Chain A
Amino acid sequence: MVIENLQIAPLGDWLLGTGWQGGWLWSRWGVAVLLAVVLGLGFLAVAALRRRSGRPGPVLSTWTGAILGLFSLVVLAALVMCSTNVTRSLMHDYVAGPAFTRLVPVLGTNWTDGSLYTWLGVIVGLFFGVIYFCCWLAATLLSGPALGTMQCGRAVLEIFTDIARISPRRVFALAWLAARESIRRRVVVVFVVFVLVILFAALFMKKDSLHPAQLYITIVMNCTIFLTMLFALVLSALSLPADIRDRTLHTVVTKPVRKIEIVLGRVLGFTVVGTLLLAGIGAISYGFTVRSLRHSHVLTRDMLHLETLPGNGGYLWTGSTGEAHGHSHHVTIKVPKVTGDAKADLDAALVHPEELKYTVDAERDHSHELAIERKGDDVVFSLGPPQGELQARVPIYGKLSFTDKTGAPKDRGINVGDEWSYRSFIQGRSDARATWTFDGLRAEQFPEAQFPNGIPVEMTIEVFRTHKGNMEKGVPGTIWLGNPATGKRVLLYNFSAKKFATDTQMIPLHFSRPGRDGRIEQFDLFRDLVSDDGRLEISLQCLEYGQSYGMAQPDLYIRAADGSFEWNFVKAYAGIWLQMVLVLSLGVMFSTFVSGPVALLTTIFAVIAGLFSSYIVDLGGGNMIGGGPFEAAQRIMTQDNMISQMEPGFKTSTIKAMDEATAVVMRYLSAVLPEFNESSFGRHLAYGFDVGADLLGRCALRELCYVLPVLLLGFLCLKQKEMAQ
């Protein structure tokens, strides 16, 4: 099981770089000054632009055009310098590096890692280095430098004027119209299709699956994503071109409506309808999943067998429940020994059934509550609804490091020959260890009342066997706890790992272990093993010779708490909502300058490119085995394998140069492509992990960062479009 985005940096680190707390600008005073300046200047600018009537004057326009033109030249030069590795490093060493260093006291160390600055860089590069420069060049060629500069400056001022004069009432009116249009287009059909698909799928879904919750959640989430994206694509890409074709937009644009209001109104209207649609589908999905998984088992007294424990241990009534959803549970009820007659003792114990101790073994990712009551002479057992199946675990992750078989620290374990290098391995019966270092643990996080049995640690270990051994028994290993500050280590448990089985171990808050001198030593977890700055090491060792444990960083985590599954469900659907808004914005943007079907295809292409953005990043970074597209094509044609060296010569040099040029385009493309997978939380939901606030916040900000420029581009395209052409 691999879930992307399980481990992410805190929102602030991601947004502003890991050392942002040290930057003056992000201190309390800095933020206050920043807000005052941004809001103050913004307010003044908006007020000035709203008050001004008529078109911007020629002097102001020329100055604006000239300043922006020079700025665009600088940005373009920077983009060209960044396009190759050599010039990029030159620029970093002599221009950007020293300048960036001077900003460290203001923005904090590592501020260049902050996504906000990357985004600002991309926006400036796109709008000034590419769009403005091309427009300026075209206007200069067509009208001459003076007139061209003035026209460009005037256009920019008019854009800001349009933005400043946005009227919420008009935007809402246009949104209302878009919503009405969506309803007219029978979006309710999407509901019907969803219900039909779900009902049809329900016929084939196996309730006796090993992981039924995962199966059901994955199917409803995939159906939701598919239908929502289809809805967003069709509605957004076809609506505006239909209005332009039917000329209904003529009566709108001849009113005091700004083109940006048309774009905003469309996206807002479709978003409202999409939100209602998604809420409806979400409610259906939740009801369907919960109802489909709900079951109980029959348990009668005849199914239980009596076992007498030695001494005064009492009796064990054990047995299996009846089968439901393709499985049954093993039940154990412990009855205290009072009279020596098992049945009489059971009857006596049933006077207070709530005091009886019982266990219902987990099966298919869930267990059940057992209720026992007496009805007359009869004892009635009833099992409640499944428990633990639909959950939202809130994990705390540690940083994984390794030591090799000699005990020397390593970045990774050994490779056992897997092509998939996600996990690395430690050898059995050696000093090889995998150590997770957890940070920021505080005793207040784990109150004894809430964690009476200790802190749960869940792990999913891959077992690589060089000999078969006892497959049923699993491979033995040990768990160690360590204090990274004092170096103190203590063996916690021995355990047995089965391949990919999720195992839960409890770390007691207080425990005792024999010390080296043989005396029993008392340990308080937070006093003795967690450092003052909240760090704790958990290490695993494999004990069986010839066998290995394989692990990746997310494979072991502290289960700090459990969130609400319902709330997690809402957050997973919020992820789909974010994707939907992005698709709607892209569809509306493309529909402002191409016809409906072309806009539809272009949006689909953008979505697909977004789904494969990581591949394009690899392609742009030159990290692909077998080279770029031209080298790969050459290898295919000559039936050459991917790792052999190409014969040096003109042909190879040409191919490499073409690939390098493609890589530059890909690199810039990858910087602006939306990452759709980022907001897919279906696997979190299916595998029972909470979608964290950091992750949700990051995705929301990321989508906003895409939606804003996309809307701006849509506005620019619509602004220059002749409605009656």
Chain B
Amino acid sequence: MQTEIVIETRSLSKVYRDFWGRQKVRALKALDLEVRRGEVFGLLGPNGSGKTTTIKLLLGLLYPTSGQALVLGQDASEVAKNERIGYLPEESYLYRFLNAEETLDFYGRLFNIPRAKRRQKAADLIEMVGLTKARRRQLREYSKGMTRLIGLAQALINDPEVLFLDEPTSGLDPIHTHEMKVLIRDLQAQGKTILMCSHLLADVQDVCDRIAILHQGELKELGRVDSLLKVRDMTEIRTSSLSPEAQEEIRQVVARHQGTVHSIGNPTTTLEELFVKVIKESEAHPGRRARVEEVERV
């Protein structure tokens, strides 16, 4: 993984106002984030925590109230940055009266891709997401999972450097979920940077290198997944070939009873447990950063 920062937010804040300019909700409060080239970064948080707002600010779909959102070194409102990014929206907001080929052709034209290359690219992507048989069917006839897949294909039409995936596995069956995760890892292997947000914690745990947990518009947790899931106040010893008697005295006599110590270290919790814990702490102490671990440098 490289150290070049491709996505950065600096004290990024967003306040939603009503027609008269009165503050409705403070969706994001001074968010500082850095995503490096080649990593898969996950944004987590309950509903209304500000993760979708963050993605929309980074895409230029919303304008920040204060602070800065930078993508590939350019301001998020710059159209030029869109040449190098891909976006899979939460609900695959696509034109349902088009079929898969027309959809990809249309988005390809928006990137000024020449016709021959566009068609080839569209065919490749349709094959990659496994929709070859349904390529002539209108999207209105697609299942939710199929729509997600064609949504991903349109996000990849320009071979982007940075991918924004909003709930990439929602609506997918287990097979497609697995394929999506493999695909995300493949894309990472190709050097692409991926920022994703999801409610499906297991999926995030599986594919993300680092995560940030947001609650009520504030950053509550940020770090590497393996680091964050490590339970530091516990020690785990993994053994084998022990009799039941020896197990009772294992702490004192593991060595004396000639058991083989495979590993001694900290056990990991699940991301779900961590998530619930962070949110509960946040609710108990509003406004306080729960715990920010040192970000492990690669």
Residue on A nearest B114 in the bound complex, by CB: A169
> Which listed residue, A257, A723, A725, touches B110 by the CB 8 Å rule?
A257
Provided the pairs A169-B112, A173-B109, A184-B97 are in contact, do residues A257 and B91 lie with their beta carbons within 8 angstroms? Answer: no
Report the Cα distance A255→B108, complex, angstroms: 9
Report the Cα distance A54→B61, complex, angstroms: 18
**163-177 of chain A: CB within 8 A of chain B:** 167, 169-170, 172-174, 176-177
Report the Cα distance A170→B110, complex, angstroms: 5
Does A252 lie at the interface of the complex (its beta carbon under 8 Å from any beta carbon of B)? yes
**Closest CB of chain B to A253's CB: distance in Å?**
7
Query: Which chain B residues border A176 with CB–CB below 8 Å?
Result: 106
Tell whether, in the assembled complex, residue A250 and residue B79 are in contact, meaning their CB atoms are under 8 Å apart. Answer: no
Which candidate, B80-88, B177-185, B284-292, is the interface stretch facing chain A?
B80-88
Tell whether, in the assembled complex, residue A255 and residue B110 are in contact, meaning their CB atoms are under 8 Å apart. Answer: yes
Query: Which chain A residues border B60 with CB–CB below 8 Å?
Result: 253-254
Does B59 lie at the interface of the complex (its beta carbon under 8 Å from any beta carbon of A)? yes
Does B94 lie at the interface of the complex (its beta carbon under 8 Å from any beta carbon of A)? yes
Does B89 lie at the interface of the complex (its beta carbon under 8 Å from any beta carbon of A)? yes
Chain B interface mostly helix, strand, loop or mixed?
A: mixed
Report the Cα distance A246→B59, complex, angstroms: 18
Residue on A nearest B103 in the bound complex, by CB: A251
Query: Which chain A residues border B237 with CB–CB below 8 Å?
Result: none
Does A347 lie at the interface of the complex (its beta carbon under 8 Å from any beta carbon of B)? no
Could you pull out 8 A-B pairs where Cβ atoms are within 8 angstroms? A54-B78, A167-B112, A170-B110, A248-B93, A251-B93, A251-B154, A256-B111, A258-B79
Contact string against A for B residues 169-200, beta-carbon threshold 8 Å, 1 for contact and 0 otherwise: 00000000000000000000000000000000
Tell whether, in the assembled complex, residue A255 and residue B107 are in contact, meaning their CB atoms are under 8 Å apart. Answer: yes
Query: Which chain A residues border B109 with CB–CB below 8 Å?
Result: 169-170, 172-173
> Which listed residue, B74, B83, B89, B112, touches A251 by the CB 8 Å rule?
B89
**Closest CB of chain B to A257's CB: distance in Å?**
5
Query: Which chain A residues border B202 with CB–CB below 8 Å?
Result: none
Tell whether, in the assembled complex, residue B78 and residue A55 are in contact, meaning their CB atoms are under 8 Å apart. Answer: yes
> Which listed residue, A172, A173, A249, A251, touches B87 by the CB 8 Å rule?
A251
**Closest CB of chain B to A489's CB: distance in Å?**
71
Interface size class of B (residues with CB under 8 A): 20 to 34
Tell whether, in the assembled complex, residue A177 and residue B106 are in contact, meaning their CB atoms are under 8 Å apart. Answer: yes
Does B246 lie at the interface of the complex (its beta carbon under 8 Å from any beta carbon of A)? no
Tell whether, in the assembled complex, residue B80 and residue A255 are in contact, meaning their CB atoms are under 8 Å apart. Answer: no
Query: Which chain B residues border A249 with CB–CB below 8 Å?
Result: 93
> Which listed residue, A54, A170, A722, A724, touches B74 by the CB 8 Å rule?
A54
Query: Which chain A residues border B63 with CB–CB below 8 Å?
Result: 722
Tell whether, in the assembled complex, residue B79 and residue A256 are in contact, meaning their CB atoms are under 8 Å apart. Answer: yes
Report the Cα distance A159→B290, complex, angstroms: 44
Best-surrounded residue of A173, A180, A251, A723 (most CB of chain B within 10 A): A251
Does B26 lie at the interface of the complex (its beta carbon under 8 Å from any beta carbon of A)? no
Best-surrounded residue of A247, A255, A257, A258 (most CB of chain B within 10 A): A255
Query: Which chain A residues border B78 with CB–CB below 8 Å?
Result: 54-55
Interface size class of A (residues with CB under 8 A): 20 to 34
Query: Which chain A residues border B85 with CB–CB below 8 Å?
Result: 254
Tell whether, in the assembled complex, residue A257 and residue B79 are in contact, meaning their CB atoms are under 8 Å apart. Answer: yes
Provided the pairs A248-B93, A254-B87 are in contact, do residues A722 and B79 lie with their beta carbons within 8 angstroms? Answer: no
Tell whether, in the assembled complex, residue A250 and residue B95 are in contact, meaning their CB atoms are under 8 Å apart. Answer: no
Residue on A nearest B81 in the bound complex, by CB: A256
Report the Cα distance A252→B79, complex, angstroms: 11
Query: Which chain A residues border B87 with CB–CB below 8 Å?
Result: 250-251, 254
Does A470 lie at the interface of the complex (its beta carbon under 8 Å from any beta carbon of B)? no
Tell whether, in the assembled complex, residue A251 and residue B107 are in contact, meaning their CB atoms are under 8 Å apart. Answer: yes
Does A181 lie at the interface of the complex (its beta carbon under 8 Å from any beta carbon of B)? yes
Does B56 lie at the interface of the complex (its beta carbon under 8 Å from any beta carbon of A)? yes
> Which listed residue, A169, A246, A248, A253, touches B61 by the CB 8 Å rule?
A253
Tell whether, in the assembled complex, residue A180 and residue B110 are in contact, meaning their CB atoms are under 8 Å apart. Answer: no
Does A644 lie at the interface of the complex (its beta carbon under 8 Å from any beta carbon of B)? no
Does B75 lie at the interface of the complex (its beta carbon under 8 Å from any beta carbon of A)? yes
Query: Which chain A residues border B231 with CB–CB below 8 Å?
Result: none
Tell whether, in the assembled complex, residue B61 and residue A724 are in contact, meaning their CB atoms are under 8 Å apart. Answer: yes
Tell whether, in the assembled complex, residue B98 and residue A180 are in contact, meaning their CB atoms are under 8 Å apart. Answer: yes
Does B62 lie at the interface of the complex (its beta carbon under 8 Å from any beta carbon of A)? yes
Tally the A-B contacts, defined by beta carbons under 8 Å.
Answer: 83
Query: Which chain B residues border A167 with CB–CB below 8 Å?
Result: 112
Report the Cα distance A527→B80, complex, angstroms: 72
Residue on A nearest B151 in the bound complex, by CB: A251
**Closest CB of chain B to A124's CB: distance in Å?**
28
Residue on A nearest B158 in the bound complex, by CB: A255
Tell whether, in the assembled complex, residue A250 and residue B93 are in contact, meaning their CB atoms are under 8 Å apart. Answer: yes
Query: Which chain B residues border A256 with CB–CB below 8 Å?
Result: 79-80, 82-83, 110-112
Does A53 lie at the interface of the complex (its beta carbon under 8 Å from any beta carbon of B)? yes
| Chain B residues proximal to chain A, CB less than 8 Å | 16, 56, 59-63, 74-75, 78-80, 82-83, 85, 87, 89, 91, 93-95, 97-98, 106-107, 109-112, 151, 154, 158, 164
Report the Cα distance A54→B80, complex, angstroms: 8
Report the Cα distance A304→B56, complex, angstroms: 88
Report the Cα distance A177→B74, complex, angstroms: 29
Residue on B nearest A725 in the bound complex, by CB: B62
Tell whether, in the assembled complex, residue A248 and residue B74 are in contact, meaning their CB atoms are under 8 Å apart. Answer: no
Residue on B nearest A257 in the bound complex, by CB: B110
**Closest CB of chain B to A630's CB: distance in Å?**
30
Tell whether, in the assembled complex, residue B82 and residue A254 are in contact, meaning their CB atoms are under 8 Å apart. Answer: yes
Query: Which chain A residues border B112 with CB–CB below 8 Å?
Result: 167, 169-170, 256
**257-278 of chain A: CB within 8 A of chain B:** 257-258
**Closest CB of chain A to B173's CB: distance in Å?**
23
> Which listed residue, B56, B95, B111, touches A248 by the CB 8 Å rule?
B95
**46-62 of chain A: CB within 8 A of chain B:** 53-55
**Closest CB of chain A to B85's CB: distance in Å?**
7
Report the Cα distance A725→B61, complex, angstroms: 8
Query: Which chain B residues border A55 with CB–CB below 8 Å?
Result: 75, 78
Query: Which chain A residues border B151 with CB–CB below 8 Å?
Result: 251
Query: Which chain B residues border A247 with CB–CB below 8 Å?
Result: 89, 91, 93
In the A-B complex, the 4 residue pairs with the closest CB atoms: A173-B109, A724-B61, A247-B93, A255-B110
Query: Which chain B residues border A170 with CB–CB below 8 Å?
Result: 109-110, 112
Best-surrounded residue of A170, A248, A258 (most CB of chain B within 10 A): A248
**Closest CB of chain A to B211's CB: distance in Å?**
23
Tell whether, in the assembled complex, residue A181 and residue B95 are in contact, meaning their CB atoms are under 8 Å apart. Answer: yes
Provided the pairs A173-B109, A257-B110, A724-B61 are in contact, do residues A180 and B97 lie with their beta carbons within 8 angstroms? Answer: yes
Report the Cα distance A725→B109, complex, angstroms: 26
Contact string against B for A residues 164-200, beta-carbon threshold 8 Å, 1 for contact and 0 otherwise: 0001011011101100110010000000000000000
Query: Which chain A residues border B110 with CB–CB below 8 Å?
Result: 170, 173-174, 252, 255-257
Report the Cα distance A177→B109, complex, angstroms: 11
Query: Which chain A residues border B98 with CB–CB below 8 Å?
Result: 180
Query: Which chain A residues border B91 with CB–CB below 8 Å?
Result: 247
**Closest CB of chain B to A593's CB: distance in Å?**
12
Query: Which chain A residues border B83 with CB–CB below 8 Å?
Result: 256
Best-surrounded residue of B75, B95, B98 (most CB of chain A within 10 A): B95
Given A162-B79, A170-B109: 11 more A-B contacts, CB < 8 Å: A55-B78, A177-B95, A177-B106, A250-B87, A251-B93, A251-B94, A254-B60, A254-B82, A254-B164, A723-B62, A724-B62
Residue on B nearest A721 in the bound complex, by CB: B63
Contact string against B for A residues 693-721, beta-carbon threshold 8 Å, 1 for contact and 0 otherwise: 00000000000000000000000000000
Query: Which chain A residues border B62 with CB–CB below 8 Å?
Result: 722-725
Residue on A nearest B73 in the bound complex, by CB: A54
Tell whether, in the assembled complex, residue A250 and residue B61 are in contact, meaning their CB atoms are under 8 Å apart. Answer: yes
Query: Which chain B residues border A181 with CB–CB below 8 Å?
Result: 95, 97
Report the Cα distance A722→B64, complex, angstroms: 10
**Closest CB of chain B to A258's CB: distance in Å?**
6
Query: Which chain A residues border B59 with CB–CB below 8 Å?
Result: 250, 254
> Which listed residue, A53, A169, A723, A724, touches B80 by the CB 8 Å rule?
A53
Report the Cα distance A55→B76, complex, angstroms: 11
Report the Cα distance A54→B63, complex, angstroms: 17
**200-249 of chain A: CB within 8 A of chain B:** 246-249
Query: Which chain A residues border B107 with CB–CB below 8 Å?
Result: 251, 255
Report the Cα distance A207→B129, complex, angstroms: 65
Query: Which chain A residues border B79 with CB–CB below 8 Å?
Result: 162, 256-258
